[in-house]
Amino acid sequence: MRILGIDPGYGITGFGVIEADRGNTALVNCGAITTPAGMDFSARLEIIYEDMRALLEKAKPDAVAIEELFFGQNVTTGIGVAQSRGVILLAIRQAGVPVTSYKPMQVKQAVVGYGNATKHQVQEMTKRLLHLEKLPKPDDAADAIAIALCHARSSTFLLAQLHK
């Protein structure tokens, strides 16, 4: 199964594509969609949407996993990220690919085994699970890979339950 993981943002949207087959996972590609800080916000959303459509066409994922939003201290930033997530979800919907959302705690639990793991712990475990020599950059791409791994592990668990 080819899984596209997405860490949504409006300045940087991280993505990671993995292949998952019966517990074996391999990194296919990762990177980020970026938009310039001084640009009109609606133009930034258009770039994210168009780049996401192109990414979906190129990666041809069987499934997409995207992080749910967590509104911390800065609600204004959260609103912008929510708008970015909206255009990303639209592109995924139009591509006809199934999408699943995961809370940050679910990603940490699936990758590290501990829901309150630190960002560094998640990145280190991602590196180990995929047998990578170094951490993927930018951090948003590494986070997106962890989201894809979370989906791979969740899907494997759900399939195992179906076959019992």
The one catalytic residue in 50, 51, 133, 140 is 140
Cis status, amide bond into 138, omega within 30 of 0: yes
Q: Is 140 a catalytic residue?
A: yes
- The number of residues in the chain equals 164
The one catalytic residue in 67, 124, 139, 143 is 67
Q: Is 7 a catalytic residue?
A: yes
Q: What's the angle, vertex CA 90, arms to CA 23 and CA 88, rounded to 5?
A: 60
The one catalytic residue in 7, 57, 68, 143 is 7
Q: Is 143 a catalytic residue?
A: no
What's the helix, strand, coil split of the chain in %, to 5?
50, 20, 25
Active site residues: 7, 67, 140
